[in-house]
């Protein structure tokens, strides 16, 4: 499964009702650090496609979701399991640190 574009319309179905843990990447097109993290997120999505779901949320297009998660800085990564936030991380992280968010 490739990376999903998460919107207000599909958030409940794709994230809150997901049977698998979900890694969300809050980003914006003007954000340099977001561009550094994006290919890593894509790699994680490909490698872990059988065990997690990965979604990206553009904060400029989905302000309500950014507000709901109280996003103050980007990139912000959030891991959701069973509809609850279990991990979050702000800033650029190496791949192993992102993977460790998922295994906690």
Q: What is the pLDDT of residues 12-62, one digit of tens each?
A: 999 999 999 999 999 999 999 999 999 999 999 999 999 999 999 999 999
Task: Copy the structure tokens of residue 8.
Answer: 């207000």
State the pLDDT confidence band at 64, using cuts at 50, 70 and 90: very high
Model pLDDT for residues 71-86, shown as the tens digit of each residue? 999 999 999 999 999 9
Q: What local confidence, expressed as pLDDT, does residue 104 receive? A: 61
CA-to-CA distance for 103 and 61, rounded, in angstroms? 30
Q: CA 53, 54, 60, 65: dihedral to nearest 10 degrees?
A: 30
Please identify every residue annotated as catalytic. 31, 34
Nearest CA-CA partner of 54 in 98, 21, 101: 21
Q: Look-up: residue for tokens 């553009």?
A: 58
Residue range of the domain that includes 19 = 4-103
Query: What is the tally of structural domains in the chain?
Result: 1
Average pLDDT over residues 78-96: 95
**C-alpha distances out from residue 52 to 3, 9, 14, 29, 65, Å:** 11, 20, 11, 24, 20
DSSP 21: -
DSSP 13: I
The CATH code of the domain that includes 99 is: 3.40.30.10
């Amino acid at each position: 499964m490739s990376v999903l574009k998460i919107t207000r319309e599909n958030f409940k179905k794709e994230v809150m009702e997901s049977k698998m843990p979900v890694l969300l990447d809050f980003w914006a097109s003007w954000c340099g650090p977001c561009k550094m993290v994006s290919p890593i997120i894509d790699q994680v999505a490909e490698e872990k496609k059988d065990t997690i779901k990965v979604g990206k949320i553009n904060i400029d297009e989905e302000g309500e979701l950014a507000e709901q998660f109280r996003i103050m800085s980007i990139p912000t990564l959030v891991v959701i399991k069973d509809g609850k936030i279990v991990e979050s991380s702000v800033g650029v992280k190496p791949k192993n640190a992102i993977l460790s968010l998922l295994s906690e």
